[in-house]
A = this chain, B = another copy of it.
Amino acid sequence: MVRRQAVGIRDLARELGMSISTVSRAMNARPDVSPETQRLVRETAERLGYTPNQSGRSLRQGTTDTVALVMPTHTARTESGETFFLNVSDGLQEVLSPRGLNLVILPCGSAEQPDEFLFKAVDRHLADAIVLADTQRVDRRIDYLIEKKVPFVGLGRTEAGGYSWLDLDFEGVAAQSVDRLVGLGHRRIALGTTDRTVNNTFLFLDSYRASLERHGIGYDPELVIRVPDTRQGGYHLAARLLAAPHRPTAVILEQETLAIGLYRALADAGLTPGRDLAVIGFRENPVLDLLTPSLTCFRVSLTNYGRRLGHLVLAEMARAGSAGPLTQEVWPMELVSGDSDGAPLG
């Protein structure tokens, strides 16, 4: 694919030694830019062959200077304090913005069908590159992006490869959690997981199972409890754990916000996390600050994660149409010891 390298506002700003914002305001004859500066900017724009109209530019150049983050906004999840994507977007924007790239979020609401939503976004050529979150084990959207030759980065993996992605270390978290609980003497370790179909639930489950088997503990599918990814889900999880004929002594949460309902339900039953049931959550999340005892979990700087994502996006845009190397990175998370997995079993 040959890409015409037309003059963008970034080139114009660089040539003039001005900020993009000043150039933009000058081109729009804003009163806070002096007539002299406005004239200089317009003359330089003409000399370099730059046209400011966004629609005109994208038609001519095939570029919108925009990166789109396709993000789920299912109400139940966001209500539970799942602000993961907003924090990631802050770091992402920090990398893109100084390079003259605008970040837009395309919210895939609860009334949307995620595949069609992405297909439409691609067909509309709204962005030069896409960050695709909530990747499924088998994800038709990835095929479509590849087919349409849209530069993109998966914020998450799928079963198939062949594209660049950045993902959290779900396997590492599951393995460390099992190791830690086994070390404390636990053998009946449940997994509280969500009923969503995103790929990371599979990665987590596979690693949980492999880790148990590494310790010589047989995998018991009865101990894998799937609940909705909401606060009610946490209550259901507790009810299922307490009703189990041979009650587990520990539970690993694949989604940390399940702890809200879980703690509440345990308290209602007169039970204390860390004493009556060992609990390890997934991501350290400030909304869980109120949990007593504090939750053992895993730390990640979402802003840094977002920044790294930004660099992957830039790399994908640079290699668009060429057969350059892919970037596929698993991002580590750091164990934060809390009081929820308590002392060794007596």
Contacts and interface: CB of A to CB of B under 8 A. Distances in A.
Interface in A64-122: 64, 66, 68, 73-75, 78-83, 86-87, 89-90, 93-94, 97, 102-107, 109-112, 116, 119-121
A260 interface: yes
A104 B104 contact: yes
A64 B75 CA distance: 27
Given A90-B110, A106-B104, A24 B123 contact: yes
Contact of A93 (B81, B109, B287): B109
Given A54-B126, A87-B78, A87-B79, A263 B290 contact: yes
A55 B56 CA distance: 7
A116 B73 CA distance: 27
Contacts of A90: 73-75, 78, 107, 109-111
A70 to B, nearest CB: 11
Interface residues of A, number: 63
Interface in A246-304: 260-261, 263-264, 286-287, 289-291, 302-303
A125 B119 CA distance: 23
Given A86-B107, A264-B289, 10 more contacts: A54-B58, A55-B125, A74-B90, A78-B83, A79-B287, A83-B86, A90-B107, A93-B112, A103-B107, A260-B287
